[in-house]
Structure 1
Amino acid sequence: MLRAALLCAVLALLRAQLVSFPCPPACSCFVRDAAQCSGGDVERIAALGLPTNLTVIMLYRMDRGTLRSDSFRGMTVLQRLLLADSHISAVAPGAFNDLINLKTLRLSRNQIPDLPGSLFDQLVLLEQLFLSHNKLTRIDQNLFRNLVNLQHLLLNNNQLVSLPAGLFAHLGNLRVLDVSGNNLTHLPQGLLGAQAKLERLVLHSNQLVSLDAGLLRSLRALAELRLDRNRLHSLAPGAFDQLRDLSILTLSRNQLRSLPSALFLHLHNLTFLALDENPLEELPGVLFGEMAGLRGLWLNRTELRTLPDAAFRNLSGLRALGLTLNPRLGALPEGAFRGLGQLRQLSLSHNALRALPRGLFRDLRSLEQVRLEHNLLQTLPGDVFEDLPGLAEVLLGHNPWRCDCDLRPFLAWLRQHPGLVGRAEEPPRCQGRRPGLLLQALSDGDLGCPSTGGPPPHSLAPTWPALPVARDRPAWVPTSAEPWARAQPVAEGQGQDHRLFWSLYILLLAAQAVITGVIVFAMMKLCRLFRKLIRERALV
C-alpha cells in the first residue's frame, strides 16, 4: 500500500511538472505547454479555454465552419499551430494576428477555397507553412509578402490554375517549395527569381506544357527537381544549365518527343534521372555530360527505334539502366552501352528487339542481370555474353526462338552456363520447329543442321543426316559416325583426266614384274649351284 501511494505521488508530481496549466476538458495535455484537442466546433475554438501561454496547439477533426478572428487571441508565445484534418471552410482576416512567434502553421487537409491577402502579415518568424490538400483555386499576390524567414511552403494538391509572377518575391530563404497536384499550365517568367537558396522544387502532377528558358536560372542551390506527370511537349535548350548542384531530376510521364542536344551536359552531380513514359522518338548524339555520380536512368515506355552509338559514354558510374516497354525499339548499335563499366542491371525486356550485335555487352564487366524477355529474338551470337565475370542472371523467356542450326553456338553457351538463365520467369522455348521445347532440352539432332564439307566441331558428335541428291548427280553422304576422311562425296565436274596416274600405275606394275622375274631367275640359278655342290661333295 505504501509503495503504491508513493508511486501515485511521484506520478502526480511529474504530471504537475509536465503540465503547468489547467488542461481544458475536451483536450489532452501530456506535454509541457502543449495541448491536443479533437472534435468540437471550429467556430468555438475560443470557448475551449486554452491557456494563452501554450507553445504548441494541435486541433484535429473539427466540425465544418469558419476559423474566427478571435480563435487564438493573446497567444503571443505560440510557436506551432496544427489545424489539420478538419473541415475548415474559411479563415477570417486577422485570425493569426497575435501569433507573432509562430514558426510552424499547418492548415493542410481542410476545405479552404481562398485565403485573405493579409492573413499572414504578422507571422514574420514563420518557417513552415502547410496549405496542402485544400480547395485553393487562387492565391493573392501579397499573401506571403512578410514571410521573409519561411523555409518550407507546401501548396500541393489544391486546384490552382495559375500563380502570380511576384508571389514568391519575398521568400529569399525558401528551401522547399511544393506546388504539385494542381492544374497549373504555365509558370510565369520571374516566378522563382528570388529563390537562390531553394533546394527542392516539386512541380509534378500539373498540366504544364512548356518550361521557359531562364525560369530556373536563379536556382543555383537546387538539388531536386520533379517535373513528372505533366504535359510538357518541349524543353528550352539550356533549361538546366545553371542547376550545377542538381541531384534528382524526374521528367517522366510527359509528352516529350525530342530533347535538345546537350540538355544535361552541365548536370555533373546528378544521381537519378527519369525520362520514362514519354513519346521520345530519338535521342540526340550528345545528351549527357560527365555524370560519374548518376546511379539510375530510366527510358521505359518511349517510342525510341534505336539508340545513338555510345549514347551513355559519360555515365561511367551508372548502376541501373531501364529500357523496357518500348514497342518500336527493334535494333541497337554495337556500341550502345560503351562506357558503362559499372553497370549492374540492364533491362531490355518488352521491346521489339530481333537481334543483338555480337559486342553489345562488351566491357560491361560489372553486369549482374540482363533482362531480354518479351522481345522478338530468334537467335543470339554464341559469345554475346562472354567476358562478363559478374553475370548472375539472364532472362530470355517469351521470345520466338527459331531452334535451327543458327542457334547452335548460343545453345552451346547455354549448356556451359545452365545456372544463368532465370528460373523465376517462363523459361525460353522454341517456336516454329520443335514448338514448346525448352532451349535447355534441345539436342544437336533437334536443330536439323545439314552436313558440310569440313570436319564437325570437336564439341559436337552428331549423326550426319543424308543430304538431298540432285538428279543425275552422284553423291555420297555418310549415314554413320565413320571417320570423316571416308565420307567425301564425289561431285560432278571433278572427273579430270587421270591418264598420267594410270601410266604411272602400269609402269609401277611392270617394274614390279621385272623385279619379281629377276628374283625368280636368281633363285633358280642358286638352286642349281647348290645341287652341283652337293653332288661334288658326295663323290668325294
Structure 2
Amino acid sequence: MIFLVLFSVLLGVWNCRSQMILNDMSWINTCPSECECQYSQSSQMFLSKWKTENNDEHLIKSAVCVFNNHNINFTHRLSDDIESITFLQENDTQTIFTNDILKHFQKVQSIDLQGSLNSATVHITNSVFHNLEHLKFLALQRVDMTGAQKAFAKLSELEVLYVIHCTIGYLKWEMLDGLLKLKELYLLQSGIKELYGFAFYGTPELRRLFLSHNDLLSVDADAFVGLLKLEYLDLSNNQIDHLSGLTFPPLPHLQWLELKHNPIKVIFPHCFQFLNGTQHLTLGHKQQPVHLMKFSFRGLYSLKFLHIPNIDNDILIEHMFYDLRALMHLNLQGRIKIINNRAFNGAHKLLKKLILHNCQLQKLYKDSFHGLEVLQVLDLSLNNLQSLEEETFRHLKSIRHILLHNNKLKQMPSELFFENHQLQAISLHGNPWNCSCNMKDWKENIVMSNYIEPIAENCTNQYNCTEEMVPITDINTSPVCESPVIYKGEELFTVLKRLNCQ
C-alpha cells in the first residue's frame, strides 16, 4: 500500500513536470536559425563531468549556436532564461564578444565558447561575463584574451573554469580575483610564461589546478600563496628546469603533484620541504635526465607513489630517499649503474613495489635491499646484471614476484628458492645461463610461472592511482642455456632432467 502511494506521488510529480515542459515549448519554436534549442539532460552537458556535488539529474534549457562576425546579434532572440549555451565560431575573420551580447542571460549556468580551428579569431572584453551572476561553468577554447585580464573577476558563483589554446602570457592576480567558489581551474596550452605573485589568491576554495602545456620556465612560492585547500597541481609539459626550497609554499592538502616532462636537471635538497601531505609525485623528462642528491625528497612524509622516468645517477646511496616513510611504490627508469648498501633506507618501512626496469644496472650488493622486509614486487628486468652476490635477497622477507629477465646473468644463488616461502614467481628468461647441477634447487613451478609486469595506472579514485600488475601468458618464460655449448639453445629444466643431478 505504501509503495502504491509513493509511486502515485512520483508519477504525479513526473506528469506535472512533463506538463510544464509541454506548456513551455514556445522558446524552442522561436529559436534563432543559427541555433539548435532543446531540453537536455543535465548529465549530458559539456561541463557536467566536472560537477562532483549535487549532481542531480534534471532537464535544462540549452542551445548550441554557430556565430560569425555578421550574425552575432542573434543572441537577443534566444530565451532569456536559457541555462546552457555553446557557441561555435564559423570560419570568418574576427568576432568580438562584449557584455551586450550576453548580459540578458540572467539564468545561464554554463557557457562554452569555442573559436574556429582556422585563422578566425574570437576576442573578448573585460566586462563580457560581468552580469552573469549565476554562471557556474565556463569553458573558453581558442579565444584571444589580450586586453581582457579581468574578464573572470566578478564571477563569484563560478565553480569550474576551463581555458585552452587561449592567449594569456603572464598570469596576474587580477584575472582570478573574486572567484570565491572556484574549485577547478584549467589553464592549458595558453602560452603562460610567468605566474605573478599571489596569482591565485582570489581562489581560496580551489581544489584542482592544471597548468600543463604552457611555457613556464620557473615557479615561485608566492604564486601559490593562499591555496590552502589545493589537492591536485599539474605543472607537467612546461619548461621548468630547476626546483628549490622557494618553489612551493606550504600546501597542506596537496595530494598529487605532476612535474613530468619538465627539463629539471637536479633535485636539490629541501625542494619539497613544505609538501608534507603529498601522496603522488611524478617528475622527469625523456630528453633531460634528472639527478638525485641526498635528502632530495625531504619533507615528503606522506608520499606513497614516486615515479622518475629518466633518472641519471651512477650510484644510489643511503639517504637519497630519506623521509619517504609512507612510500609504497617506487618506479625508477633511466641510468643507475650501482645500488649501494642501504640505498633505500628512509623509504623501506612500507615499500611494497620497487621498479628498477631498464636502468642500465650493473651491480648489486648483499645489503642493497636492506630493510625492505615488506617488499612484494621487485622488477630488475632489462638491465646489465652479470652476477648476484650470495644473500642479495635475504632482506626480502615478503617478496612474491622478482623480475630478472633480459639481463646478462650466467649463474644465480639458489638460496632464494629454499629460504623464501612467499615467492610465487621469478622471471629468468633472456639471460645467457651456464646450465649445470648448481641449478638443481631451482623450482620449476616458480620459474615457469607467468611473470607479471606493470600496465597503465589503475585509479580507484581521483588521487589514489598505482600501476596494476598483470600476468603475461604469451611469452615463453623458460630459461635457456647459453653454455656449455652442448646444451646451447635448450631449456634449462630439460637439461637438468638429463643431467640427473643428485
TM-score bracket relative to the smaller structure: 0.7 to 0.9
Q: Distance in 2 between matches of 1:429 and 1:158?
A: 54
Partner amino acid, structure 2, of 1:413: W
- What's the CA shift string for 1:407-454, capped at 9, x where partnerless? 4222432458564475643432122423212111214776xxxxxxxx
Q: 1:91 Cα shift?
A: 1.6
Instruction: Report if the CA contact (8 A) 2:440-2:501 is conserved.
Output: no
Superposition pairs of residues 145-160 of structure 1, within 5 angstroms: 145-160=177-192
Residue 282 (str. 1) matches residue 315 (str. 2): yes
Alignment of 1:123-522 (within 5 A): 123-139=155-171, 142-253=174-285, 255=288, 257-289=290-322, 291=324, 293-301=326-334, 303-313=335-345, 314-327=347-360, 329-403=361-435, 407-414=436-443, 419-420=448-449, 422=451, 424-426=474-476, 427-433=478-484, 434-443=487-496, 460=501
Residues 18 and 294 of structure 1, relative CA distance in 2, 3 Å threshold: farther
Q: Counterpart in 2 of 1:55? A: 83
Query: Paired residue for 1:106?
Result: 139
For these two proteins, the number of residue pairs brought into alignment is 435
Aligned-residue offset at 1:118: 2.5
Tell me if the contact between 1:292 and 1:316 (Cα under 8 Å) persists in the aligned partners: yes
Contact 1:258-1:282 at 8 Å conserved across structures? no
- Greater gyration radius: 1
Please report the TM-score for the alignment, with normalisation by the length of structure 2: 0.78
Deviations 1:211-265 (A, max 9, x none): 1322212322211111111011123321112111111111132645532322334
Aligned to 2:38: 29
Deviation at 1:67?
4.1
What is the TM-score of this pair, normalised by structure 1?
0.73
Structure 2 gap segments, 5+ residues each: 1-14, 41-58, 452-472
State the Cα distance separating 1:398 from its structure 2 match.
Answer: 1.5
Change (3 A) 1:113 1:122: closer
Structure 2: how far apart are the matches of 1:166 and 1:261?
32
Quick check: 1:117–1:141 contact (8 Å CA) kept in 2? no
What SS does structure 2 have at the residue aligned with 1:142?
A: helix
Contact 1:395 1:425 in 2 (8 A): no
Q: Which residue in the other structure is 1:15 paired with?
A: 21
User: Which sits farther off after the overlay, 250-259 or 199-208?
Assistant: 250-259
- 223-232 or 89-98, larger mean C-alpha shift: 89-98
Deviation, structure 1 residue 322: 0.7
The RMSD of aligned alpha carbons is: 3.0
Task: Supply the distance in 1 between the matched residues of 2:154 and 2:239 (Cα, whole angstroms).
Answer: 34
Q: Is the 8 A contact 1:46 1:72 kept in 2?
A: no
The structure showing larger relative contact order (alpha-carbon pairs under 8 Å, at least 6 residues apart) is: 2
Residue deviations 1:330-373 (CA, integer Å, cap 9, x gap): 11111222332332221101111111122222243432221111
Contact 2:198 2:225 in 1 (8 A): no
1:290 and 1:18 map into 2 onto residues whose CA distance is: 63
Aligned equivalent of 1:97: 130
CA distance in 2 between counterparts of 1:118 and 1:317 reads 48
1:431 maps to amino acid: E
The 10-residue stretch of structure 1 (287-296 or 340-349) with the greater mean CA deviation from structure 2? 287-296
Query: Residues 317 and 342 of structure 2 are in contact (CA less than 8 Å); yes or no, is this contact kept in structure 1?
Result: no
Q: 1:156 to 1:411 in 2, by over 3 A?
A: farther
Distance 1:212 1:19 in 2: 60
Of stretches 228-237 and 51-60 in structure 1, the one that deviates more from structure 2 is 51-60
1:75: how far off? 2.0
